[in-house]
Amino acid sequence: MNQISSKKGLAEKWAAGCCGGCAGAAIIGGLMPNTGTEASIGTVIGGAVVLGIMGGGTGYLIGMLIDKWNPVYSGGPMALLHKMDFKLGPDTKGGFHFGLSYNF
């Protein structure tokens, strides 16, 4: 196994944001006074539900399209060795200095 990747999970966040935004816009638009016929509360709620579902679906698709794969594990026989940083050099006292660090 060379690599394991996962997505960040942006689809759910976009779906929730677009659903709430569209439903809120429908409620605000339905409750604003206008010169035409007034909408009943049932019509405003129904429109908010329909637009919320449509906005949530659209947001989910947008989130899926822009979500990128992030490597969780990069394997291979030398994967751990490549993440190690070895340093060997002269010390200030005339000896040698050995350093070892791991890069995440």
Q: State the pLDDT at residue 77.
A: 62
Cα 13-16-21 angle, rounded to 5 deg = 125
Strands (E), the chain: 3-7, 69-74, 84-90, 96-102
Q: For residue 7, what are its two tokens? A: 């997505």
The pLDDT tens digits for 30-83 are 888 776 777 788 888 999 999 999 999 999 999 999 988 887 776 666 666 667
Host domain of residue 24: 3-78
For residue 77, what are the contacts with CB-CB under 8 A and spacing of at least 6? Answer: none
Instruction: Establish if 70 belongs to a structural domain.
Output: yes
This prediction has a pTM of 0.60
Instruction: Establish if 47 belongs to a structural domain.
Output: yes
Instruction: Establish if 35 belongs to a structural domain.
Output: yes
Instruction: Establish if 18 belongs to a structural domain.
Output: yes
Q: What Å distances lie between residue 10 and 7, 52, 55, 67, 91, CA to CA?
A: 8, 18, 15, 6, 50
